[in-house]
């Protein structure tokens, strides 16, 4: 018998205290709603009386769109978009709109978002804490209760009959060093490592609070480096730490060049960027006011359409198919194309000289600008540092050296001696870099005609400050990613589009982005009586190799790369290899929170499994997750997490949104105790990650938790205790759209009812600029980068934009001549890698992926569309089989595989709990698993190729063979 969602909830509630702990450990098919199992929907339509609407935030990708959940009698029956949220409606409705009136409007939610209903009712969710029996990786567990799980994790002991395991209490020594001869490693508490998947603003700060209280520096590492680390590092190194993500102001842009970015397939957020692109394209058909404001070179006016976009990508994506031009370059050569464009701009004097000559904020404002560059600053040729007086930069102005702050404009093409020190201006150095190759050579590198670069550059500059060069993973998920990012960003600086309507913008931002230090907010991250963790992190992020004992004793190279410029998000793909080698120190416990490196990290599936099986390398392995994944399959304990529809969080949005926005994720089903704030999810024996960590903290007696966590009588005993303070921080204080209410609680409730806090649509701009601007120095030359040395080679990095061929960690250029094709990866609009790969509704759209190959490559191999083929790589010599898709829409010499298919966890293969085989769904394993094909670093041999500056894992540098079966 199959039952409805409503009956499922009732059954779950009734059986929660007994059946969950007596054998029913995954949701069985008879417990899953009829429509989810494939039958016609029998639940009431959203228009039926008795439907409750609750606003929250989606997490089916990283876009954080607002959603409206339709609930009847505690059962989720429909997901739509939140009309208050600018991701989900344009223009979004007024914040003052009452809840009843808001029901007249429905925001949009993409196919992934609507399929989120499958996530909460997934039949392979874990119902109770699991403890392994037998060896790690045996696929066998038994259920235990929460008290047992928390106690054993905290106290350790002979908990598996394999000898003593040190629990978290024993590991937490905040005084004794890991190695007394190497004090820079920090205290023994650092041997507890917390590795996360996707985190939002609120959950990131909560984990930081927990790990700060514990005393470990290894608490902030998430999956950014397998998504967009080099993308964000490019911006960080050009702008600053707080502005590591800028985007085009699409609706006011007139010419958009997308390098390795396909917003109509995988935009962040997909529906928002796609909507803006289509509005811009439709609006351009009849002319635009923007054209009158766009060009500062009159000769170009009227020559081109009023909105165009160009896609630079070896694959004909959805975005490329609708673009005005598709440029299929060789993968990994995007920086060469950008430098070729710069060559044309410099040869023709078609760059914004005045913007580049500005030397300070004062100079910029006199010219009607908000930001300025260091193009005119002088660089010492003896050590490549910026020339300074009293710590301040110097420019050449009026025939002499002047402090940049004192000179309104500096000369751009300077070579001079200052106090007998040879110097050149940043712009001069950039021009010399660009002129190292002519346009024909740049075109040869990219595999295109030189005329393509020339025409693209001419058209780009013709639109003035409303032309934008944007990029994403296709351009920078390479070993040269950060250099490529900085080079593409430099195109925007040359036309001076920063902080301009239609230019490159920082977005509207959010309220309470720090949630810790701003006046009037609760100290959510800082713990007054807590320890202050210190030492080197397991991934070596944020630390200089030169400050270590290892360097003092042996110099270069280091054993593994160090990443001194990478911030708290860290280097996800380096964690397991570092644990395997015990470098820079061995660990004692690893906690995985929705982290799945076995599936999501390129090339290291076997390395992850071998390392995690080894109880000497990872003595205690804990996972917090809602399912048994490819990685937590090796865990000692799996603690059942809730889904994103059963938790709180604070969710900012990408800068493509020009108004200030902050979303509140909140439970849409389950029950909340109105007195204590305690939350019972759909499956009552699961818990939010925050509630789990609160229980562990309580068991360990950590500071900053318990009845007086935020001061006398201010508790942190539930997740809501934390998030109500986080929401209080974002609804009070700062200027913007007012949140009504005299008392804090009234303001919190007002925001919860609307799913966040949102500025009005008409608050995006002030005149010809966005209301929120960067308003700072744009670094064409990054001195810090030029002063940082590659720990593997000892050579300094380059502070200028640069094209660099793909190399391994030792600096050797890759040569894989026996593998004729280069593999690129991408996503479909209906998948977002790991988190949707087992979603039944989404798999119905396309049950399995394929190998995309050009007919010119397929014909000599005898391959036809739909044939079974085998693809091999240096890391997968045995090969992986799949179907061929023979199409013109990919550059010859390149093959493509979409990511997000072929799971071997989350129910694709059976596991055993309490002696019972839990069954499996083979459709979840269909297709080609991408990451096992990708390349290991040939020098290190236990990590994927990676960008040593930006830390991004490489998804697009692997060479492969394809043969017909």
What are 287-309's pLDDT values in tens digits? 344 334 433 334 334 444 579 99
Q: Which two tokens stand for residue 871?
A: 């693809």
| Residue 450 neighbours by CB under 8 Å, 6+ apart | 340, 439, 440, 442, 443
3-class SS of residue 112:
helix
| Range list of β-strands (E), 33-126 | 52-57, 66-72, 75-81
Q: What is the pLDDT of residues 719-777, one digit of tens each?
A: 999 999 999 988 876 565 678 887 888 999 999 999 999 999 999 999 889 999 999 99
Within a domain: 625: yes
Q: What is the pLDDT of residue 29?
A: 45
Does 380 map to a domain? no
pLDDT in tens, 172-210: 999 999 999 999 999 999 999 999 999 999 999 999 999
Q: Are residues 119 and 149 in the same domain?
A: no
Does one domain contain both 79 and 156?
Answer: no
Q: Residue 106: which CATH number?
A: 2.20.25.90
CATH code, domain carrying 209? 3.40.50.740
Between the alpha carbon of residue 327 and those of residues 312, 438, 461, 830, 892, the distances in Å are 5, 19, 18, 25, 13
Residues 86 and 160 occupy one common structural domain = no
Q: Mean pLDDT throughout 817-835?
A: 89
pLDDT score recorded for residue 5: 39
Range 311-321 average pLDDT: 96
Residue 792, pLDDT > 90, answer: yes
pLDDT of residue 577: 99
Whether 506 maps to a domain, the answer reads no
pLDDT at residue 16, rounded to an integer: 27
Q: What are phi and psi of 680, to 5 degrees?
A: -110, 110
**How confident is the model over 213-227, as a mean pLDDT?**
95
Output the six-digit token pair for 325.
């031009």
What's the pLDDT at 47? 58
Distance CA 243, CA 250 (A): 19
Q: Is 332 domain-assigned?
A: no
**What's this model's pTM, rounded to 2 decimal places?**
0.93
- Kindly report the average pLDDT of the chain as a whole number: 91
Per the DSSP assignment, residues forming a β-bridge with 177 are 187
Contacts of 747 (CB under 8 A, 6+ apart): 728, 731, 732, 739, 740, 741
Instruction: Give yes or no: residues 822 and 960 share one domain.
Output: yes
Structural domain boundaries, residue 12 = 5-124+659-671+713-751
Q: Please tell me the predicted confidence (pLDDT) of residue 285.
A: 45
Q: What is the pLDDT of residue 736?
A: 58
Query: In the predicted model, is pLDDT for residue 787 greater than 80?
Result: yes
- On whether residue 464 sits in a domain, the answer given is no
Report the distance separating Cα 826 and Cα 316, nearest Å.
11
pLDDT of residue 48: 64
* Shared-domain flag, residues 59 and 110: yes
Residue located via tokens 């089989």: 881
pLDDT digits (tens, 9 = 90+) for 882-934: 999 999 999 999 999 999 999 999 999 999 999 999 999 999 999 999 999 99
Q: What is the reported pLDDT for 179?
A: 98
Dihedral pair phi/psi, residue 835, rounded to 5°: -75, -15
> Are 174 and 208 part of one and the same domain?
yes
The 3-state DSSP class for residue 444 equals helix
* Block residue for tokens 């994790």: 153
Average pLDDT over residues 34-41: 45
In eight-state DSSP terms, residue 774 is -
- CATH number of the domain that 901 lies in? 2.40.40.20
C-alpha triplet 674, 679, 682: angle, nearest 5°: 125
Domain membership flag for residue 757: no
Asked whether 763 and 357 are in contact (CB, 8 A), the reply is no
- At residue 767, the pLDDT reads 87
Instruction: Decide: 308 and 255 in contact? Cβ < 8 Å.
Output: yes
Are residues 191 and 166 both part of a single domain?
yes
The strand ranges marked E within 804-867 are 821-826, 851-853
Tell me the C-alpha distance between 934 and 922, whole Å: 24
37 and 62 in a single domain? The answer is yes
Whether 143 and 104 share a structural domain: no
Q: Is the peptide bond before 557 cis (omega within 30 degrees of 0)?
A: yes
Number of CB atoms found within 10 A of residue 180's CB: 8
Burial of 695 (0-12, 13-18, 19+ CB in 10 A): buried
- Over residues 506-552, the pLDDT tens digits come to 999 998 766 665 545 688 888 876 678 999 999 999 999 999 999 99
pLDDT band at 281 (very low <50, low <70, confident <90, very high): confident
Mean predicted confidence (pLDDT) in 239-265 = 95
| Dist CA 412 CA 424 (whole Å) | 9
pLDDT at 306: 77
Res 39: pLDDT: 42
Q: Residues 94, 215: one domain?
A: no
Could you tell me if residue 545 is inside a domain? yes
- Say how far apart CA 473 and CA 315 lie, in whole Å: 13
Residues 49-82: pLDDT tens digits? 788 999 999 999 999 999 999 998 889 999 999 9
Per-residue confidence (pLDDT) for residue 735, from 0 to 100: 60
Are 194 and 622 in contact by the 8 Å Cβ rule? The answer is no
The pLDDT, as a whole number, for residue 528 is 72
The domain tally of the chain equals: 3
In a domain, 766, yes or no: no
Based on the fold, state whether residues 874 and 956 are members of the same structural domain. yes
Number of helices (H) and strands (E) in the chain: give both, helices first: 31, 40
pLDDT confidence of residue 9: 35
């Amino acid at each position: 018998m199959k039952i409805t969602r409503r009956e499922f909830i009732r059954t779950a509630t009734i059986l929660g205290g007994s059946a969950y702990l007596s054998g029913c450990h995954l949701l069985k098919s008879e417990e899953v709603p009829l429509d989810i199992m494939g039958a016609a929907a029998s639940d009431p339509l959203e228009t039926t009386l008795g439907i409750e609407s609750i606003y929250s935030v989606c997490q089916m990708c990283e876009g954080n769109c607002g959603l409206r959940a339709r609930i009847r009698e505690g059962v989720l029956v429909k997901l739509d978009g939140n009309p208050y949220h600018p991701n989900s409606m344009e223009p979004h409705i007024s914040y003052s709109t009452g809840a009843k009136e808001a029901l007249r409007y429905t925001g949009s939610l993409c196919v992934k978002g609507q399929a989120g209903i499958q996530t909460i009712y997934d039949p392979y969710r874990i119902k109770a804490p699991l403890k392994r029996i037998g060896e790690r990786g045996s696929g066998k567990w038994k259920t235990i209760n929460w008290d047992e799980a928390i106690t054993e994790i905290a106290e350790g002991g002979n908990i598996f009959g394999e000898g003593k395991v040190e629990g978290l209490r024993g590991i937490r020594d905040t005084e004794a060093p890991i190695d007394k001869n190497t004090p820079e490693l920090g205290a023994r508490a650092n041997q507890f490592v917390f590795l996360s998947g996707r985190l939002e603003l609120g959950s990131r700060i909560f984990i930081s609070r927990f790990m700060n209280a514990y005393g470990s520096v290894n608490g902030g590492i998430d999956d950014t480096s397998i998504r967009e680390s080099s993308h964000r590092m490019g911006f960080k190194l050009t702008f600053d730490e707080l502005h590591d993500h800028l985007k085009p102001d699409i609706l006011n842009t007139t010419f958009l060049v997308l390098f390795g970015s396909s917003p109509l397939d995988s935009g962040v957020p997909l529906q928002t960027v796609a909507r803006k692109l289509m509005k811009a394209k439709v609006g351009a058909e009849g002319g635009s006011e923007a054209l009158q404001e766009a060009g500062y070179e009159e000769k170009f006016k009227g020559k081109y359409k009023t909105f165009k976009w160009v896609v630079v990508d070896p694959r004909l994506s959805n975005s490329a198919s609708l673009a005005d031009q598709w440029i299929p370059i060789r993968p990994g050569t995007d920086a060469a194309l950008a430098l070729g464009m710069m060559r044309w701009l410099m040869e023709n004097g078609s760059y914004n000289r005045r913007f580049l000559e500005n030397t300070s904020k004062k100079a910029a404002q006199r010219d009607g600008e908000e930001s300025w560059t260091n193009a005119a600053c002088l660089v010492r040729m003896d050590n490549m540092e910026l020339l300074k007086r009293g710590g301040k930069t110097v420019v050449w102005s009026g025939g002499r050296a002047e402090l940049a702050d004192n000179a309104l404009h500096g000369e751009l093409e300077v070579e001079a001696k200052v106090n007998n020190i040879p110097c050149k201006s940043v712009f001069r150095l950039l021009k010399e870099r660009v002129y190292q190759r002519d346009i024909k050579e740049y075109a040869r590198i990219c595999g295109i005609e030189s005329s393509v670069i020339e025409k693209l550059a001419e058209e780009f500059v013709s639109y003035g400050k409303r032309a934008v060069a944007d990029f994403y993973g296709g351009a920078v998920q390479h070993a040269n990613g950060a250099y490529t990012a900085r080079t593409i960003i430099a195109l925007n600086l040359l036309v001076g589009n920063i902080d301009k309507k239609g230019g490159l913008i920082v977005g509207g931002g959010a309220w309470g982005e720090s949630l810790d230090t701003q006046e009037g907010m609760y100290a959510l991250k800082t713990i007054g009586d807590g320890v202050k963790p210190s030492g080197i992190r397991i991934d070596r992020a944020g630390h200089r190799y030169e400050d270590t004992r290892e360097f003092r004793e042996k110099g270069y190279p280091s054993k593994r790369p160090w990443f001194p410029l990478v911030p708290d998000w860290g280097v996800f793909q380096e964690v397991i290899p570092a644990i395997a080698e015990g470098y820079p120190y061995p660990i004692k416990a690893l906690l995985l929170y929705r982290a799945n490196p076995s599936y999501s990290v390129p090339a290291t599936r076997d390395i992850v499994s071998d390392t995690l099986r080894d109880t000497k390398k990872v003595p205690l392995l804990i996972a917090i997750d809602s399912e048994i994944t490819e990685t937590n399959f090796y865990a000692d304990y799996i603690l059942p997490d809730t889904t994103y529809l059963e938790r709180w969080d604070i969710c900012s949005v990408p800068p493509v949104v020009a108004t200030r926005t902050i979303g509140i994720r909140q439970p849409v089903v389950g029950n909340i105790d109105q007195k204590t704030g305690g939350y019972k999810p759909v499956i009552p024996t699961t818990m939010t990650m925050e509630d789990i960590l609160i229980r562990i903290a309580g068991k360990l007696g950590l500071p900053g938790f318990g009845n007086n966590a935020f001061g006398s009588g201010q508790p942190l005993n539930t997740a809501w205790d934390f998030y109500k303070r986080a929401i209080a921080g974002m609804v009070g204080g700062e200027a913007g759209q007012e949140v009504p209410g005299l008392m804090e609680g009234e303001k919190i409730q007002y925001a919860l009812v609307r799913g966040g806090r949102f500025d009005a649509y008409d608050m995006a701009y002030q005149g010809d600029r966005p209301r929120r601007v960067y308003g700072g120095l744009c670094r064409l030359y990054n001195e810090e980068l030029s002063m940082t040395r590659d720990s593997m080679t000892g050579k300094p990095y380059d502070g200028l934009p640069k094209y660099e061929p793909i190399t391994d960690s030792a600096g050797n250029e890759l040569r894989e001549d026996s593998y004729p094709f280069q593999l690129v990866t991408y996503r479909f609009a209906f998948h977002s890698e790991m988190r949707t790969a087992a979603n039944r509704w989404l798999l119905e759209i396309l049950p399995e992926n394929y190998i995309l190959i050009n007919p010119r490559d397929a014909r000599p191999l005898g391959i036809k569309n739909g044939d079974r083929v085998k693809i091999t790589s240096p890391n997968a010599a045995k090969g992986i089989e799949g179907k061929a898709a023979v199409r013109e829409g990919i550059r010859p010499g390149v093959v493509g595989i979409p990511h997000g298919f072929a799971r071997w966890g989350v129910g694709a293969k059976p596991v055993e709990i309490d002696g019972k085989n839990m069954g499996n769904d083979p459709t979840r394993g269909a297709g080609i698993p991408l990451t096992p094909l990708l390349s290991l670093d040939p020098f290190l041999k236990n990590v994927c190729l990676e960008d040593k500056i930006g830390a991004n894992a490489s998804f697009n540098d692997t060479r492969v063979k394809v043969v017909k079966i």
